[in-house]
Structure 1
Amino acid sequence: MHLIVYMHPSKDSFNHAVLATYREALEQLGKEVVVRDLYRLPFAPLLTQTEYDRSLMNRYADDVQEEQAYVERAEAITFLFPVWWGGFPAIGKGYVDRVLAYGFAFELENEKPIPKMEGKPLGMIYTTGATRDVWESGQKDWMERLMKTAIADFCGFMQIPPLHLGHAVLADDNERKRMFASVRAYPDQFPIFRER
């Protein structure tokens, strides 16, 4: 199963069209696809002190356990999101905080992380309003390195090269066609699809 963790509130957004295109591409490869649309779920992004304390004892809230079961069952995962203020929308950060929790996605030994995701492939498709050249002149490397180091490496995911779709708001039809073509080709980045 390929898990897509989707992080955009609007069904009329470019991100939603990207989601539909990506899902279709995966299904055409014969993959079962599960989309966890965080804005449509009863998922609270706030990690409370009580929940934090319980997570240190490997005790998780019901909604977190449900999401962790999807992560466990997935043979590959893709985060699909717009970049807002240099990273995930807040609900996506809350997903990472709560779902990729201590004891589930990693443990610590003498404050050194012990990853638990065992090389499960993790891809990222993200959009920005900035054009590719503007994005690549500054924030791209910083954000992608942070995602790789703080999420993929820390938890033991195999980071698939991220797909950036820039100029998402003002792109003309030809630009959007090129972007959708790159979305349809993105599954080729995952080893599980290259081995077919």
Structure 2
Amino acid sequence: MAGKRVLIVYAHQEPKSMNGSLKDAAVTELSRQGCQVTVSDLYAMNFEPRATKNDIVGALSNPKSFNYAVETYEAYKKQSLSSDVVEEQKKLQEADLVIFQFPLYWYSVPAILKGWIDRVLCQGFAYEIPKYFKNGFFQNKSALLSFTTAGTAEMYFKKEYAGDIRYILWPLQHGVLHFCGFKVLTPQINYAPERASEDKRKEMVTSWSRRLETIWDEKPIDCSLSWYFE
């Protein structure tokens, strides 16, 4: 889809990792389609994951009692957020599709990616009251989680010790992406690449590339409780 803009928010330390290969495959395939692809390589950027007073440039609204959410909301309205946050917000604002590429850490994202979520998706920019969920700001954008796990696929079922993978996705897909209004696409999950053969790992990358060939035709998931828990 020539002219489409894609943002890949990538969180892995090693370029030669499976996550690195999946990121590279996405860049290659989407660029081949004529998309404009931007990668936020968080580790390479040395992205600051901590949400602190440094995210506000200039005077605080209430210097006597610091409230990060309130201060960043006011700073966004006054255009006084730190430059690194503003740069990421600009990338996100321009994107038609956002891909989050990461390894699953403790049933969630790596700290550096959680910091990106905390700092970039501030009130005023990513949501407003009551403009969230189906009324969210990013209704014209799609997003998906592409990630790797340490455990095999057989471990992520309701009666297994890891639990159903959809339970794990609830906070990220529903509490972050859907909350901000994104159309959430089916996650791309690559189970236990470190336990897989070289041929199997290549298959994972090829499968991802093939999916991306028709990614613009995909329908979003049903963002309801039943998708996750029934």
Matched, 1:44 2:61: no
Q: Is the 8 A contact 2:97 2:141 kept in 1?
A: yes
The letter of the residue matching 1:56 is Y
Name whichever structure is richer in strand by fraction.
1
SS state at 1:60 partner? coil
Matched, 1:89 2:110: yes
Aligned to 1:147: 172
Aligned to 2:205: 180
Over alpha carbons, which structure has the higher Rg? 2
User: How far did 1:49 drift?
Assistant: 4.8
Q: Is the 8 A contact 2:96 2:140 kept in 1?
A: no
Inter-partner Cα distance in structure 2 for 1:153 and 1:22 = 23
Aligned to 1:132: 153
Inter-partner Cα distance in structure 2 for 1:176 and 1:129 = 13
Inter-partner Cα distance in structure 2 for 1:84 and 1:189 = 29
In 2 relative to 1, CA 82–153 (structure 1 residues): closer, same or farther, beyond 3 Å?
A: same
Return 5+ residue gaps in structure 2 as ranges: 56-67, 220-230
Aligned to 1:15: 19
User: How far did 1:98 drift?
Assistant: 0.5
Aligned to 1:26: 30
Inter-partner Cα distance in structure 2 for 1:126 and 1:189 = 19
- Relative to the length of structure 2, the TM-score reads 0.77
SS state at 2:43 partner? coil
In 2 relative to 1, CA 66–169 (structure 1 residues): closer, same or farther, beyond 3 Å?
A: same
Over the aligned positions, Cα root-mean-square deviation in angstroms equals: 2.2
Inter-partner Cα distance in structure 2 for 1:180 and 1:101 = 33
Inter-partner Cα distance in structure 2 for 1:153 and 1:188 = 24
Using the TM superposition, name which of 168-177 and 135-144 deviates more. 135-144
Aligned to 1:56: 73
Aligned to 2:95: 74
Q: Alpha-carbon deviations, 1:8-50, whole Å to 9, x = none?
A: 0112322111111121111121212111100011421111156
In 2 relative to 1, CA 145–26 (structure 1 residues): closer, same or farther, beyond 3 Å?
A: same
Inter-partner Cα distance in structure 2 for 1:50 and 1:56 = 14
Q: Alpha-carbon deviations, 1:73-99, whole Å to 9, x = none?
A: 111110000001111000000000111
The letter of the residue matching 1:13 is S
User: How far did 1:72 drift?
Assistant: 0.6
SS state at 1:148 partner? helix
The letter of the residue matching 2:209 is R
Using the TM superposition, name which of 137-146 and 55-64 deviates more. 137-146
Inter-partner Cα distance in structure 2 for 1:18 and 1:124 = 12
SS state at 1:71 partner? helix
Matched, 1:157 2:178: no
SS state at 2:145 partner? strand
In 2 relative to 1, CA 108–49 (structure 1 residues): closer, same or farther, beyond 3 Å?
A: farther
Q: Alpha-carbon deviations, 1:104-129, whole Å to 9, x = none?
A: 000124x9775211231001110011
Return 5+ residue gaps in structure 1 as ranges: none
